[in-house]
Amino acid sequence: MHGTPIQQLSLPAGAATLQGRLRVPERARGIVLFVHGSGSSRLSPRNNYVAERLADARLATLLFDLLTEAEEDIDATTAQLRFDIALLQDRLLAATRWTLQQPQLQSLGIGYFGASTGAAAALAAAAQVAEVRAVVSRGGRPDLAAAALAQVRAATLLIVGGNDPEVLELNRGALARLRCEARLEIVPAATHLFAEPGALEQVASLACAWFARHLDAASPPGR
């Protein structure tokens, strides 16, 4: 199903307009919104690979830029906006509202796939949106979600590379603060970007299984 068409679109987010890429496979059983971090974008090769794998599992995906072009220029110099969890959360909430307003998408269970600082934004937003059923974090910083962690009800999977010790320790601490169904998966010998042979494939397989379990359109929300 790698041939699932990609729709280029613009998303309203307050005064900002964000660019996105939407994939909707036939008989989609859920939709996953991607929340990147660390200066990445909707064109991230890693996230697009995972999105293709999710499409194979009949899950729609929405990848979108969290920052406008002007904001990206600022962030490229200062690296500050990528750590502005409140801003990233607001942008994700705007994309979620847009998703819930689309006739072809509004009946689908919603999941968030967050990477780096985007994982914190995903968890903070999930704590506020009842429709979010599942969250997957790839090499994320869930600790930056702070007090919101205890409010998350969406089933949460934290994926960390075995050779990413600092982030692994932060994820273990975040796991202890979550009160929802939650699990930590360690990909052996993988570093922060999962660039090692087979590492990203393991991330995609874990994410597909987690979302397929929790987002199936026929199942009731786990809330």
Write out pLDDT tens, residues 69-88.
777 766 667 666 667 788 89
Query: Does residue 1 sit within a domain?
Result: no
Tell me the two tokens of residue 158: 């934290």
- Report the half-sphere exposure of 19 (CA within 13 A, side-chain side): 10
CATH of the domain at 24: 3.40.50.1820
Nearest to 46 by CA among 56, 55, 36: 36
Task: Work out the mean pLDDT of the chain and round it to a whole number.
Answer: 89
- Determine, yes or no, domain membership for 168: yes
Closest CA to 67 of 37, 33, 97: 37
pLDDT at site 68: 76
Q: Do the Cβ atoms of 112 and 183 come closer than 8 Å?
A: no
Taking the C-alpha atoms of residue 67 and residue 75, their distance in angstroms, rounded to an integer, is 9
Q: What is the pLDDT of residue 85?
A: 87
158-169: average pLDDT: 97
Q: How many domains does the chain have?
A: 1
Using CB atoms within 10 A of its CB, is residue 200 exposed (0-12), middle (13-18) or buried (19+)?
buried
Domain residues for 67? 6-215
Summarised one tens digit per residue, pLDDT across range 15-67 is 889 899 999 999 999 999 999 875 566 767 888 899 999 999 999 999 998 88
Give domain status of residue 221, yes or no: no
Q: Is the pLDDT at 130 greater than 60, yes or no?
A: yes
45 is a domain residue: yes
Looking at the domain assignment, is residue 222 inside a domain?
A: no
Whether residue 184 is contained in a domain is answered as yes
Residue 66's pLDDT is what?
85
Q: 223 in a domain, yes or no?
A: no
What is the structure's pLDDT at 56? 93
Within a domain: 139: yes
